A and B are shown apart, each in its own frame.
Chain A
Amino acid sequence: MAHEFLIEARGLSRRYGSHVAANDISLSLRKGEILGLLGPNGAGKSTTMKMLAGVLAPSAGTVMINGVSLADDPKRAKQSLGYLPELPPVYPELTVDEYLRYCASLHGLRRSERAAALQRAKQSCGLSEVSRRLIGNLSKGYQQRVGIAQAIIHRPAVVILDEPTVGLDPIQILEIRRLIKTLGQEHGVILSSHILPEIQAVCARVMIIHRGRLVYAEPLATAGSEGFRTIIAGFLRMPAFDVLLSLPGVGEIETLTGSQIRITVDNAGDDPRAAIAEAAATHGWGLIELHAERRTLEEIFVELSTGDAHALQEAA
């Protein structure tokens, strides 16, 4: 059974009394895709993920997982789901093996499949050498890995990871990122974080949630590579502006410092950089710097979460 979308959520809302934790959030996830949910603390990321995982019922909206409605047939829908909540849901008094075996049988894995599944999950999460240790005695990083192993042991189509690298040291963070990337090849992964580099490192697509609303949803490639509107240029000898303005694509010019100018292009598709370089060479301006000013994800993030998010969404 192949469905186009592994997760299809429409109009998800969640209210706690008068407080709206999530408002009209729609998202979809395809196979082999890693989607990042980004947002400042308390933006509604965890609430959204809880609703996707079926732990929390939405006040409004529907979730389809692998084509099965989470509200109508929760058991079947949850079979294709692996979920790591903010706190890894582990039992400190069990050993890693005992715990993972329990998780495997909870997800309906047959006795014969369990041993292999256990091996695989331990191997991908680097847990093989701590199999027989009590989870309560493991470090936070290892407990987090046990939490991830729990989410992937039954090879679900969808893996939902809520802040998977919180509390880990830099080396462990790199390891977990590598693991998430490998997971993204076979499964669909949704991952949340309030740390930008994290999302940039692993996700193909990003959604920014702010005050319970989805305010930005684009492939990561758009934020950064294409569609620049301004160029920064630096010269040893300041050029004559009328020569520059006569070049195709150049709109306005603004002096930044003694040697630097910002050039706004006429249309988003124009790229006058080559022409500027040629002109600089023929007129002997001494070109020392020339690059497109890119809108990074960080700028978008800061802009969205500090400015009026609603207005930005209307404009988008």
Chain B
Amino acid sequence: MSLVLTIARAEARRIFVSPLAWTVLAVLQSILGVVFLLLILDYAQNPRGPESSVGLSDYIGGGLYSFATLVLLLVMPLLTMRLFAEERKNGSLTLLLASPVSLIEIVLGKFLGLFSFIAAATLLLAAMPLMLLVGSNLDLGRIAAGLLGLSLMMMALGAAGLYVSTLTREPTIAAVASFGLLLMLWLMQVLSSQPGWIGKLLGYLAIVGHFENLRRGIFSSVDIVYYLLFTVLFLWLAVLQLDSERNG
């Protein structure tokens, strides 16, 4: 376990000493800042009465976080591409492979390191709606559910990207391929409006659908389990891929 933490610490350090993570965070924050501002202006111009079912937390928090999923879909592949593809390209992956560390520890360590970025992004996303605490009564539970959903979704996106990153030695290919994979998972949501069991199945598998409940403040264990299973599945696939590479 301590080796997992060692790898995670080094990984987090490398994420945050590179300009990439900071650029991504800055772009993320600027785009979402604009969206946040637009939502506030919109809310201020069309005030809803106290009897309205859509409150401030829902309108601004929910609106912001639902837009955030799309931006995160675009930026997560940029962070996951470096995990294995870039390391393989510049030869540093050998350091881990030749060390007395198991493949599971390597994958978990890298994923935990990536989690440091997810945590930073979540904190920044929390800061914007929380600013409204100064002049309004926020439903903190809803905001928290939305943030939990976002970080779970980032974990799932990150795990999928990490797996794709183990498949190639070109970081750009890893980024494009994981972007494609994530977009497919996202598109399933659109297809889920199809009638019949296909629509139901796709709706269940779509990565964004499970976020919808949490965004609306509904904490359902199905959604949490979905994201955790999704994450574990892709991490396990990554371990299998690395193992077959050693043997293949």
Interface of A toward B, CB cutoff 8 Å: 53-57, 74-79, 81, 83, 85-94, 98, 102-103, 105-108, 150
Report the bound CA distance from A106 to B96 in whole Å: 8
Q: Does B247 reach chain A (CB closer than 8 Å)?
A: yes
A-contacting residues, B1-40, CB 8 Å = 3, 6-7, 10, 13-14, 17-18
Since A87-B91, A93-B14, A94-B10 are in contact, a sample of 4 more A-B pairs with Cβ atoms closer than 8 Å, ordered by chain A residue number, is A75-B100, A87-B94, A105-B6, A106-B95
Contact of A55 with B97 at beta-carbon distance under 8 Å, contacts A94-B17, A106-B7 already known: yes
Pick the 3 closest A-B CB pairs, nearest first: A87-B91, A89-B95, A78-B100
Q: Report how many A-B pairs have Cβ atoms within 8 Å.
A: 69
A-contacting residues, B59-104, CB 8 Å = 90-102
Interface-central residue, A81, A85, A106, A150, by most chain B CB under 10 Å: A106
Return chain B residues, CB-CB under 8 Å to A93: 14, 17-18
Report the bound CA distance from A91 to B86 in whole Å: 11
A-B contact pairs, 19 of them (CB 8 A): A55-B97, A74-B100, A75-B100, A77-B100, A81-B98, A85-B94, A86-B91, A87-B90, A87-B94, A89-B91, A89-B98, A91-B92, A94-B13, A102-B6, A103-B95, A103-B99, A106-B96, A106-B99, A108-B100
Picked from A77, A78, A85, A94, the residue with its CB within 8 Å of the CB of B91 is: A85
Report the bound CA distance from A93 to B22 in whole Å: 14
Interface of B toward A, CB cutoff 8 Å: 3, 6-7, 10, 13-14, 17-18, 90-102, 246-247
Smallest CB separation, B32 vs chain A (Å): 27
Tell me whether A55 and B98 are in contact (CB under 8 A). Answer: yes
Smallest CB separation, A22 vs chain B (Å): 15
Report the bound CA distance from A54 to B95 in whole Å: 11
Report the bound CA distance from A55 to B7 in whole Å: 18
Contact of A106 with B101 at beta-carbon distance under 8 Å, contacts A93-B18, A98-B13 already known: yes
Report the bound CA distance from A103 to B91 in whole Å: 15
Tell me whether A53 and B246 are in contact (CB under 8 A). Answer: no
Contact of A55 with B94 at beta-carbon distance under 8 Å, contacts A102-B10, A106-B6 already known: yes
